[in-house]
Amino acid sequence: MAGPEQTETGGERPSTASAAALTGALAAIGTGAYVVDEQGRVIAVNDRAEQLLALSAEDLLGRDAHDLLHRDAHGQPMPRTQCGMRQAFHAGRTAQGEEDYFACGDGSLLPISWLITPYDVGDHARGTLVLFHARRPQEADPHPEPAAGPLPELERLALLAETTTQLTSTLDVEEALHRLVTLVVPRLADWAVIDLITERDEVWRAAVVHADGDTLVHHEELEGPMPPVPELSPMPLSRALRGLASTLAGPQTYQREPDSGIAVEQRRLFDVTGIRSAAIAPLRSTREVLGALTLGRAEKPGDFATADLPLLEDIARRAGLALDNARLYQRQRKVAETMQNHLLPQMPHVPRLQMTARYLPAPDASQVGGDWYDAFSLCDHATAVAVGDVVGHDLEAAAGMAQVRNMLRAYAWSQQEPPSRIVERLDEAVLHITDVTMATMIFARVEEANDGHWELSWTNAGHPPPLLISHDGLADYLTDGHGLLLGTGARAPRADATALLPPGSTLLLYTDGLIEEPGHSLDEGLHRLRQHAAALAHRPLASFTDQLLRRVRPAANDDDVALLALRTPTRTSPGPATPRRGR
């Protein structure tokens, strides 16, 4: 994961992805807008602000917004102690101003009205959004009338900008619903109800939330399955769930004889919640209707009016697109994980030898990859173990992984040869009868000797080395037997290596997703793995494996991980490991 970028003034800008999301959100705002970080430096600006200020984005980004822009009526720098915008910024609250001035790049003074509000800038950071209008002199009014009816334009634009940023920065459906509710309650209403249409065309009341002061209370007793959507019903929720226009509703709307089961549920909702005024809008994507958003007022003053519906529709449209993206992501992830899990094998039962394996997919659903493990019995009663990584992060890589694994099984079973020779045959076949470009792997044989010791023989095709951990916590990498990765076309001979596995020792095979981390060397990852593996050596094998994944896998990892661990039986007099260099 990319970290923050340094500005010329020594501060930090958001990561490239976060900055792009901020700029995209501001572009949709029809008035001047910029975002500052926690130090008051500009980190994003829209085109309209550049036009109004006669300053380019390069002139603004990284600069202290107050020092650069804010002036008094005579064009002199505004003292920070007298700046209402600066005070609201430090207090972290929403505020407005009607008579202020910004300095423009051409030397002129721009009269403005403004709104400032806290704003989520991504990367777990908070910033502040500033919206401003160019104010003509005749607009100044020392005694402005209090706002009534729909939200003032600047507040409306601020809410839409925050909606865009909040909802497009998550691909989790539940999180998107939570963010949607917190955006509108209690700002617009004291009740929010979300009904979703499932993939089986069933309606599910996913959220019924009430604002009790600053606390959001979920009413699970009002959530759950709903009756089907009537095709011709004129009732507001039924129309919204068919994707028709947004509508106003109240208790009186549902006092008439109900025309459907949904109408009965709506009457119950109004009766239980005490909502006296509601606005209902469809949640739509570009492909289909996803559900409906209902905002209700019970204690909050003022009833919804027709003038409120455009804002609700704008919010619902943004929410529908975000929910659709989240659903597509989760659907793709489920398909990818199902495919990967079906391709990966079950561990064979080998008397006196413990084995366990784990596979963790990449965080990004599109990154289903070619990491794999395998373990199977051979015809001479030895046990074959392997772990590998086919280059690529897509369904083709997963399919290539299946080809490589299946060919390895066939060669290992039919050809009673050392691991190096098996992998040489596999490498030649990969070049001619698969679409795999390159791959790394370790292939090994584990067998019990006549004296009760266990012996490992292996060859390594460009893969991170196996890690052997003794029962007493001594951990060493098995670096012998190393050769080129598969798919290069080179015909260099491969080497075998052997080592005795001490009683009670653990052998760990893994893919690079366990140790690679952006901004850190591979040696750092290998050291971290050895340190934690040694500390966990006394754990049962399943616990050892799970804890190792939790402790070692980098938080910023964008790769999948395959891991295979085996443990030899404990003896009273453990002997030392004796690695021997192969041919």
Q: Quick check: 4 pLDDT over 50?
A: no
Q: Quick check: 148 pLDDT over 50?
A: no
Residues in CB range of 496: below 8 A, 6 or more apart: 418, 419, 420, 457, 458, 459, 481, 582, 583
pLDDT at residue 307 in the model: 87
Whether the CB-CB separation of 567 and 502 falls below 8 Å is answered with no
pLDDT at residue 190 in the model: 94
Domain ranges in the chain are: 5-147, 170-333, 344-567
Strand partners, 248: 279
Whether the CB-CB separation of 433 and 427 falls below 8 Å is answered with no
Domain range 170-333, CATH class? alpha beta
Q: Can you tell me the mean pLDDT for 180-209?
A: 93
| Phi and psi torsions of 475, nearest 5° | -120, 130
Q: What percent of the chain has pLDDT over 90?
A: 54
Q: Quick check: 452 pLDDT over 80?
A: no
- Considering Cα of 13, then 14, then 16, then 22, what sign does the dihedral take? negative
Cβ neighbours of 522 (radius 10 Å): 12
Q: Quote the CA–CA distance of 416 and 398 in Å, as a whole number.
A: 28
Q: Quick check: 94 pLDDT over 50?
A: yes
Residues in CB range of 222: below 8 A, 6 or more apart: 205, 208, 268, 269, 272, 273
The length of the chain in residues reads 583
Q: How many helices (H) and strands (E) does the chain have?
A: 14, 26
pLDDT at residue 419 in the model: 97
pLDDT interval class at 99 (50, 70, 90): confident
pLDDT tens digits for range 255-290: 888 899 999 999 999 999 999 999 999 999 988 999
pLDDT interval class at 9 (50, 70, 90): very low
pLDDT interval class at 143 (50, 70, 90): very low
- Segment holding 266, helix H or strand E: helix 261-273
Strand partners, 64: 41
* DSSP β-ladder status, 42-45 and 12-13: unpaired
One-letter amino acid of 471: H
pLDDT tens digits for range 20-59: 777 777 877 778 999 999 889 999 999 889 999 999 999 9
Q: Quick check: 16 pLDDT over 80?
A: no
pLDDT at residue 341 in the model: 63
pLDDT interval class at 169 (50, 70, 90): confident
Q: Quick check: 64 pLDDT over 90?
A: yes
pLDDT at residue 193 in the model: 97
The token duo for 82 is: 């007298």
Q: Quick check: 152 pLDDT over 70?
A: yes
Whether the CB-CB separation of 183 and 159 falls below 8 Å is answered with yes
Q: Quick check: 459 pLDDT over 50?
A: yes
- Segment holding 263, helix H or strand E: helix 261-273
pLDDT at residue 335 in the model: 67
pLDDT tens digits for range 432-445: 888 788 899 999 99
* DSSP β-ladder status, 454-461 and 482-483: parallel
Q: Quote the CA–CA distance of 19 and 123 in Å, as a whole number.
A: 10
Packing angle between helix 173-184 and helix 153-168, nearest 10 degrees? 170
Q: Can you tell me the mean pLDDT for 334-350?
A: 72
Q: Quote the CA–CA distance of 228 and 530 in Å, as a whole number.
A: 57
Residues in CB range of 63: below 8 A, 6 or more apart: 9, 41, 42
Q: What percent of the chain has pLDDT over 70?
A: 87
- Segment holding 281, helix H or strand E: strand 277-284
Q: Quote the CA–CA distance of 181 and 196 in Å, as a whole number.
A: 14
Query: Which alpha helices (DSSP H) does 371-509 contain, by range?
Result: 395-414, 419-433
pLDDT interval class at 573 (50, 70, 90): very low
pLDDT at residue 289 in the model: 94
Mean pLDDT highest for which of 157-166, 298-307, 530-539? Answer: 530-539
Q: Quote the CA–CA distance of 548 and 553 in Å, as a whole number.
A: 8
Query: Among 314-323, 329-338, 425-434, 435-444, where is mean pLDDT lowest?
Result: 329-338
Report which DSSP code applies to 226.
Answer: E
* Cα torsion through 43, 44, 49, 54, rounded to 10: 60
Q: Can you tell me the mean pLDDT for 167-195?
A: 91
Q: Greater confidence, 254 or 566?
A: 566
Measured between alpha carbons, how far is residue 571 from residues 352, 456, 474, 574 in Å? Answer: 11, 18, 17, 6
Q: Can you tell me the mean pLDDT for 426-430?
A: 92
Q: Largest Cα–Cα distance of the chain, in whole Å?
A: 100
Three-state DSSP at 433 gives: helix
pLDDT at residue 368 in the model: 58
Q: Quote the CA–CA distance of 121 and 569 in Å, as a whole number.
A: 54
pTM score: 0.53
pLDDT at residue 139 in the model: 42
pLDDT tens digits for range 184-194: 999 899 999 99
pLDDT at residue 250 in the model: 92
344-567 homologous superfamily: PPM-type phosphatase domain (3.60.40.10)
pLDDT at residue 227 in the model: 95
Q: Can you tell me the mean pLDDT for 404-427?
A: 94
Burial of residue 219 (CB within 10 Å: 0-12, 13-18, 19+) is middle
Q: Can you tell me the mean pLDDT for 154-158?
A: 80
Q: Greater confidence, 135 or 506?
A: 506
**Average pLDDT value over all residues in the chain:** 86
Q: Quick check: 479 pLDDT over 90?
A: yes
Whether the CB-CB separation of 195 and 294 falls below 8 Å is answered with yes
One-letter amino acid of 246: S
String of DSSP letters for 143-184: SPPPP-SSPPHHHHHHHHHHHHHHHHT---HHHHHHHHHHHH
Q: Quick check: 86 pLDDT over 50?
A: yes
* 5-147 and 170-333 in the same fold: yes
String of DSSP letters for 63-90: SBHHHHHEE-TTSPBPPGGG-HHHHHHH
pLDDT at residue 145 in the model: 39
Q: Quick check: 13 pLDDT over 60?
A: no
Indicate the CATH number of 5-147 among 3.40.50.300, 3.30.70.100, 3.30.70.890, 3.30.450.20: 3.30.450.20
Whether the CB-CB separation of 154 and 14 falls below 8 Å is answered with no
Cβ neighbours of 523 (radius 10 Å): 9
